[in-house]
């Protein structure tokens, strides 16, 4: 059963596209375009993985599915692409990636991507997921989210997998040098899970006491989702862009040409606003922090609050 879908990021994409129309430096434009490309590629990878996960396990009462969960604990953050939990408290922590031009894994377990007929090193998604698991384990224990049987907390098991787009080519090392069996294509996840079930030791299969009702998993999954903290990125601040977009420039120019000379202005985008709008914000101090905002910035302020 699905307890959380992926957070939409269409607004982020639109904001980045608008920034490209600003008067920005070549370096800033490169950084914005790179961010936009990364988000778009990330969407493709997560969509591929989510499709196969939902197709096979979405309606199952034996699995809890949580997509795109962001948790904070002790000043650290784990952004987990996909989390699957079964009734034996086995957690599949899945990092999804889309490597259009292929991925190469070296004998040392290093990851490289192909770009213009040359391989470039990238951070290991497998090691990244290890850090996610480490934080998730501490988070679950700290918040007492794992259920108990006879007063004893049920021990969970964590499995680390990196899901690659089905259309990508994976160049693997010799397994004796680096075992890459946990880096799989997204469409083979079900087969891998079935293989794990078939290879489960008899001692674990016999532990029926660990098998819980789906209602227990459901309660835990809902609690985990309640801790989700989506991030709101101020892209202008991140890329140090202070220029207005072409549309915003037209709006400001239009107000000046119309003879508007208000003594009130928006605290964020600096355009003139009426006294009525300014007083509305001041009278709703708990919503706007005592500062006046135009209609557009009021909307974005509410979303960030």
Residue 277 tokens read as 């709008």
153 and 209 belong to one structural domain: yes
Q: Is residue 237 part of a domain?
A: no
200 and 248 belong to one structural domain: no
Q: How many Å apart are CA 69 and CA 85, to the nearest integer?
A: 13
Q: Is residue 145 part of a domain?
A: yes
Q: Is residue 238 part of a domain?
A: no
pLDDT single digits (tens) 6-57: 888 888 888 888 888 888 888 888 888 888 888 887 787 788 899 999 999 9
215 and 249 belong to one structural domain: no
Query: Of 70-74, 180-184, 223-227, 286-290, where does mean pLDDT reach its minimum?
Result: 286-290
175 and 36 belong to one structural domain: yes
Starting from the edge strand earliest in sequence, which strands make up the sheet with 103-105, in order? 118-122, 111-115, 103-105, 170-171
Number of domains making up the chain:
2
CA distance between the termini of the chain: 30
Q: Is the pLDDT of residue 64 over 90?
A: yes
129 and 276 belong to one structural domain: no
248 and 186 belong to one structural domain: no
pTM for the whole thing? Answer: 0.73
**Placement of tokens 């090193």 in the chain:** 121
215 and 177 belong to one structural domain: yes
17 and 105 belong to one structural domain: yes
Q: Is residue 139 part of a domain?
A: yes
Q: Is residue 234 part of a domain?
A: no
pLDDT single digits (tens) 94-147: 999 988 778 999 999 999 988 778 888 999 999 999 999 999 999 999 999 998
Q: How many Å apart are CA 101 and CA 48, to the nearest integer?
A: 16
pLDDT single digits (tens) 198-238: 776 655 544 545 678 889 999 999 999 999 998 888 888 88
Q: Is the pLDDT of residue 91 over 80?
A: yes
Q: Is residue 148 part of a domain?
A: yes
Q: Is residue 235 part of a domain?
A: no
145 and 262 belong to one structural domain: no
pLDDT single digits (tens) 147-201: 887 778 888 999 999 999 998 889 999 888 899 999 999 999 999 999 988 776 6
Residue 97 tokens read as 């990636």
Q: How many Å apart are CA 162 and CA 96, to the nearest integer?
A: 6
Range of the domain at 277: 244-304
108 and 6 belong to one structural domain: yes
Q: Is residue 58 part of a domain?
A: yes
Q: For all residues of the chain together, what is the average pLDDT? A: 84
pLDDT for position 203: 53
295 and 188 belong to one structural domain: no
DSSP 185: E
Burial pattern 138-174, b for ≥16 Cβ within 10 A else e, equals ebbeeeebeeeeeeeeeebebbbbbbbbeebebeebe
Q: Is the pLDDT of residue 5 over 50?
A: yes
pLDDT for position 104: 94
Instruction: Report yes or no: 274 and 294 within 8 Å, Cβ to Cβ.
Output: no
């Amino acid at each position: 059963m699905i307890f959380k879908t992926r957070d939409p990021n269409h607004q982020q994409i639109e904001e980045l596209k608008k920034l490209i129309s600003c008067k920005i430096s070549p370096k800033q434009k490169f950084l914005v375009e790179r961010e936009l490309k990364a988000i778009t590629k990330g969407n493709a990878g997560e969509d591929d993985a989510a499709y196969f996960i939902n197709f096979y396990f979405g309606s199952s009462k034996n699995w809890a599915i949580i997509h795109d969960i962001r948790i904070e604990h002790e000043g650290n953050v784990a952004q987990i692409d996909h989390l699957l939990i079964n009734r034996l408290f086995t957690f599949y922590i899945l990092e999804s990636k889309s490597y259009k031009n292929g991925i190469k894994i070296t004998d040392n377990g290093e990851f490289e991507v192909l770009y213009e007929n040359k391989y470039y090193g990238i951070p290991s998604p497998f090691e990244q997921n290890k850090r996610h698991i480490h934080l998730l384990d501490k988070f679950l224990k700290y918040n007492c989210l794992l259920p108990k049987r006879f007063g004893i907390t049920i021990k969970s098991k964590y499995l680390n997998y990196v899901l690659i787009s089905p259309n990508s080519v994976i160049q693997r090392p010799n397994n004796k040098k680096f075992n890459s069996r946990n880096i799989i294509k997204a469409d083979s996840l079900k087969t891998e899970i079935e293989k794990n079930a078939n290879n489960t030791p008899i001692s674990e299969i016999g532990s029926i006491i660990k098998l819980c009702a789906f209602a227990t998993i459901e309660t835990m999954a809902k609690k985990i989702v309640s801790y989700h903290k989506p991030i709101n990125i101020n892209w202008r601040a991140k890329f140090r862009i202070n220029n207005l977009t072409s549309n915003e420039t037209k709006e400001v120019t239009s107000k000046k040409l119309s003879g508007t000379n208000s003594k009130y202005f928006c605290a964020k985008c600096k355009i003139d606003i009426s006294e009525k709008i300014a007083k509305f914000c001041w009278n709703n101090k708990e919503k706007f922090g005592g500062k006046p905002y135009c209609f557009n910035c009021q909307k974005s302020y509410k979303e960030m609050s």
